[in-house]
């Protein structure tokens, strides 16, 4: 962990020096003129962004230490309080890692779009920590998750079929967020953020009410936004599933006392189970063949359907909407023009140039909507396949993909309150 912090510190130093360099070279006078030494105070926002990144790494490091080394929840609660106060209310929820998905996606397809270093770090650092330690960012560093965590009082279990169906929504949200970002149409994650209005104490009343509704739901069930909406959480779950240092319920052998059975607020704790139905080798082979047939079919159907509606999806792009308005006006001229049409004609816009732009956008949407549809079909197919996979577990364990590292399960395990056996520690 010390090595990781050292690498992050070097990155911050490098980018800070790079940003301090002159954008344009000074003229080279032949008269021997010497430039006076001029010092420029660092802009306040640059200072705060540096604080943001340092605090981000520090808080994720504290959570990783708490869940992997100490197996205690108390530091995570304090991290949540700090995150809500600083990243939430003081920094107004921006720059957030959730919204950075769109910036990074746009930068990958548009070389004219300059991605700020701070946005890139907010995107990649939680992913790096998830690959190393699990979803420690979700534990309490993310102000959205921290706010829900602090108001949670009860953990009523939702029906499993409902959680499985709702659990696909973050993946769909992620796919559509990337689709609209790469087509330069909209940043829908920022546009429909339910908590920004709460942190900024103002904004769209509908979104604020939606955020309040999510917080009310979070009182009675664990993190509804994180589990059933957040697109960045879906992305982190991929890396957390294969994390190098996995979060464990206890450092000792599980005794299956069942005290932790209902401890997890996000259903990431898996109980022991045995497969009662034994299948023959032929049945197992047939099941795998069925999977191999179903998944490509789901992918193909999803790609076809999304490509079919790409024209409707493209109307989220302002240039497509402008094209529709111009075509209507050209077919039936009106004396009174809308502001958009006045701007278009006032700036000397031509139908030919607008048509070329429109056709390019339509081509982009056909391509990216097809890919998005294939991914949607893949998500649905994998979910259905997962329901039929037969598993056997001898002990309670943690589903790394779903675990948000909140630490609530640690206090339920009696093994965590017993002093370690010196002989057992030596054997490890």
Q: Point out the least confidently predicted range of 127-136, 159-168, 351-360, 412-421.
A: 412-421
305 and 382 inside one domain: yes
192 and 307 inside one domain: no
Q: How confident is the model at residue 37 (pLDDT cuts 50, 70, 90)?
A: low
221 and 368 inside one domain: no
State pLDDT tens for residues 184-232: 999 999 999 999 999 999 989 999 999 999 999 999 999 999 999 999 9
426 compared with 398, residue with greater pLDDT: 398
Mean pLDDT, the chain, integer: 86
**pLDDT at residue number 20:** 44
181 and 48 inside one domain: yes
3 compared with 168, residue with greater pLDDT: 168
Q: Point out the least confidently predicted range of 45-54, 296-305, 363-372.
A: 45-54
pLDDT average, residue stretch 97-120: 93
pLDDT at position 384 over 90: no
Q: How confident is the model at residue 249 (pLDDT cuts 50, 70, 90)?
A: confident
Phi, psi of 260 (to 5 degrees): -95, 10
Q: How confident is the model at residue 427 (pLDDT cuts 50, 70, 90)?
A: very low
Q: How many CB atoms lie within 10 A of CB 95?
A: 21
**pLDDT at residue number 13:** 54
- Residue-by-residue DSSP string for 339-374: HHHHHHHHTT--HHHHHHHHHHHHHHHHHHHHHHHH
Which of 199, 227, 250 delimits the end of a domain? Answer: 250
**pLDDT at residue number 389:** 73
**Four-point Cα dihedral 285, 289, 290, 294, nearest 10:** 150
- The answer to the question of residue 261 being in a domain is no
Residue 316: half-sphere exposure toward Cβ, Cα within 13 Å: 19
Contact 245, 400 (CB under 8 A): no
State pLDDT tens for residues 117-172: 999 999 999 999 999 999 999 999 999 999 999 999 988 989 999 999 999 999 99
304 and 234 inside one domain: no
Please state, in angstroms and rounded to a whole number, the distance separating the CA atoms of residues 253 and 427. Answer: 14
- The answer to the question of residue 141 being in a domain is yes
60 and 207 inside one domain: yes
CB-based burial label for 372 (10 Å; 0-12, 13-18, 19+)? buried
Please state, in angstroms and rounded to a whole number, the distance separating the CA atoms of residues 241 and 260. Answer: 21
**pLDDT at residue number 415:** 84
The encoded tokens of residue 43 equal 């802009």
212 and 325 inside one domain: no
- The answer to the question of residue 57 being in a domain is yes
Please state, in angstroms and rounded to a whole number, the distance separating the CA atoms of residues 101 and 180. Answer: 11
243 and 311 inside one domain: no
- The answer to the question of residue 192 being in a domain is yes
Q: How confident is the model at residue 423 (pLDDT cuts 50, 70, 90)?
A: very low
224 and 91 inside one domain: yes
- The answer to the question of residue 64 being in a domain is yes
240 and 318 inside one domain: no
- The answer to the question of residue 396 being in a domain is no
pLDDT average, residue stretch 403-410: 93
Please state, in angstroms and rounded to a whole number, the distance separating the CA atoms of residues 238 and 240. Answer: 6
- The answer to the question of residue 24 being in a domain is no
210 and 332 inside one domain: no
Which of 194, 220, 250 delimits the end of a domain? Answer: 250
- Residues of the chain with pLDDT > 90, as a percent, come to 66
- The answer to the question of residue 421 being in a domain is no
**pLDDT at residue number 212:** 96
**pLDDT at residue number 277:** 62
- Our count of domains for the chain comes to 2
pLDDT at position 11 over 60: no
Please state, in angstroms and rounded to a whole number, the distance separating the CA atoms of residues 278 and 290. Answer: 18
Q: How confident is the model at residue 425 (pLDDT cuts 50, 70, 90)?
A: very low
Contact 372, 297 (CB under 8 A): no
Domain extent at residue 358: 291-388
The most distant pair of C-alpha atoms in the chain lies apart, rounded to whole Å, by 91
231 and 308 inside one domain: no
Which of 197, 231, 250 delimits the end of a domain? Answer: 250
3-state secondary structure of 270: strand
The encoded tokens of residue 197 equal 């209005």
Q: How confident is the model at residue 41 (pLDDT cuts 50, 70, 90)?
A: low
**pLDDT at residue number 72:** 93
**pLDDT at residue number 424:** 43
Q: How confident is the model at residue 234 (pLDDT cuts 50, 70, 90)?
A: very high
pLDDT at position 19 over 50: no
State pLDDT tens for residues 267-323: 999 888 865 566 666 776 777 788 888 899 999 999 999 999 999 999 999 999 999
b/e code 23-39 from CB counts within 10 Å (16+ = b)? eeeeeeeeeeeeeeeee
183 compared with 28, residue with greater pLDDT: 183
């Amino acid at each position: 962990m010390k090595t990781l912090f050292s690498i992050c510190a070097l990155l911050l130093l490098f980018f800070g020096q790079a940003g301090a360099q002159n954008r344009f070279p000074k003229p080279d006078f032949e008269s021997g003129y010497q430039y006076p030494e001029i010092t420029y105070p660092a802009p306040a926002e640059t200072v705060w962004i540096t604080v943001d990144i340092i605090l981000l790494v520090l808080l994720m490091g504290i959570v990783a230490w708490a869940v992997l080394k100490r197996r205690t929840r108390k530091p995570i609660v304090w991290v949540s309080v700090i995150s809500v106060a600083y990243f939430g209310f003081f920094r107004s929820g921006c720059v957030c890692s959730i919204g950075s998905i769109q910036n990074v996606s746009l930068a990958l397809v548009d070389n004219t779009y300059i991605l700020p270093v701070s946005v890139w770090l907010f995107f990649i650092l939680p992913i790096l920590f998830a690959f190393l330690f699990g979803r420690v960012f979700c534990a309490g560093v993310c102000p959205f998750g921290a706010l829900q965590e602090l108001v949670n009082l009860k953990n009523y279990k939702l029906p499993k079929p409902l959680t499985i169906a709702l659990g696909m929504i973050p993946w769909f949200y992620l796919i559509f967020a990337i689709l609209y970002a790469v087509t330069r149409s909209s940043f829908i994650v920022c546009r429909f953020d339910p908590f920004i209005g709460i942190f900024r104490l103002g904004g769209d009343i509908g979104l604020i009410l939606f955020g309040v509704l999510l917080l009310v739901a979070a009182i009675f069930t664990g993190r509804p936004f994180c589990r059933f909406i957040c697109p960045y959480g879906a992305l982190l779950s991929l890396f957390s599933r294969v994390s190098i240092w996995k979060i464990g319920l206890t450092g000792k052998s599980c005794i299956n006392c069942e005290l932790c059975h209902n401890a997890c607020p996000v259903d990431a704790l898996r109980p022991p189970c045995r497969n009662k139905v034994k299948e023959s080798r032929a049945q197992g082979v047939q099941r795998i063949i069925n999977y191999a047939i179903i998944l490509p079919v789901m992918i193909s159907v999803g790609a076809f359907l999304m490509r079919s509606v790409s024209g409707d999806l493209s109307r989220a792009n302002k240039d497509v909407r402008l094209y529709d308005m111009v075509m209507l006006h050209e077919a039936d001229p009106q004396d009174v023009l809308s502001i958009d049409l006045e701007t278009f004609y006032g700036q000397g816009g031509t139908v030919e140039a607008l048509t070329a732009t429109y056709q390019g956008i339509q081509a982009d949407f056909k391509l990216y909507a097809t890919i998005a549809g294939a991914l949607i079909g893949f998500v649905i197919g994998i979910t259905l396949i997962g329901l039929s996979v037969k598993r056997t577990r001898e002990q309670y364990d943690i589903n790394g993909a779903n675990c948000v590292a909140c630490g609530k399960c640690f206090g339920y395990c009696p093994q965590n309150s017993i002093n370690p056996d010196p002989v057992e520690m030596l054997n490890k």
